[in-house]
Chain A
Amino acid sequence: SQQGEEDPQALSIQEGENATMNCSYKTSINNLQWYRQNSGRGLVHLILIRSNEREKHSGRLRVTLDTSKKSSSLLITASRAADTASYFCAPAAGAGGTSYGKLTFGQGTILTVHP
């Protein structure tokens, strides 16, 4: 299975600022997913980027993928206090782009957005 490692471990910013989180992984992937977890609750799926894509947008989220560097980044623009959460990346290398459940999570980035 493939594990993503998020960086930084913790990020503290003011409301309105942008937040950038990075993810690195070790082997080839078919896609990479980003999740958010609020205060020990369930994971919310944010965005999926495929290995043949370089950038995707969803609202205030922008995800990039650099397969040559085996890294991805998640940018949250104009952050809000409600964005305070832990963020995880999950690279998937399953055949046909499926994860087959083999999502191995790193420790995540804890984002705190101060009002």
Chain B
Amino acid sequence: SAVISQKPSRDICQRGTSLTIQCQVDSQVTMMFWYRQQPGQSLTLIATANQGSEATYESGFVIDKFPISRPNLTFSTLTVSNMSPEDSSIYLCSVDQAGGETQYFGPGTRLLVL
């Protein structure tokens, strides 16, 4: 399975600021995804990070708030912009492997916005 790392692992930020989260995979993958898990909740897909084109966002998520980059097949970033306390969540990236059947997740970035 793919080895996925995320930076930072956690952060505490002030409202109104932005944070960029990095996701690095140890092998080339076609599909990379970003999820959010709010406190006590399940995971919600934010967007699919497409290499060489704009990310595809799910309903309720917009590029201005969550800009995503995917410069190559092993790396992606998610920025949480103009943060508010409601953005306090765990943010996870994931990748599709094994012929697209299996999705593996990174360790997550725990964000607290004050």
Contacts and interface: CB of A to CB of B under 8 A. Distances in A.
A41 B105 CA distance: 10
Top 9 A-B residue pairs of the complex, sorted by shortest distance between their CB atoms: A98-B100, A42-B107, A43-B105, A101-B33, A105-B42, A42-B108, A105-B43, A101-B48, A42-B105
Given A43-B43, A108-B42, A48 B92 contact: no
B13 to A, nearest CB: 18
A98 B107 contact: no
Interface string B2-38: 0010100000000000000000000000010100010
A98 B42 contact: no
A27 interface: no
Contacts of A99: 96, 100-101, 103
Nearest to B46: A101
A105 B41 CA distance: 10
A101 B35 CA distance: 10
Interface residues of B, number: 28
Contacts of B106: 42
Interface string A28-41: 00010101000011
B53 interface: no
Contacts, number: 72
A20 to B, nearest CB: 20
Interface of A: 31, 33, 35, 40-45, 48, 50, 88, 90, 92, 94, 96-108
A26 to B, nearest CB: 16
Contacts of A42: 4, 6, 92, 105-108
A30 to B, nearest CB: 8
B92 A103 contact: no
Contacts of B102: 33, 45, 48
Contacts of B45: 101-104
Interface string B71-99: 00000000000000000001010101011
A40 B18 CA distance: 22
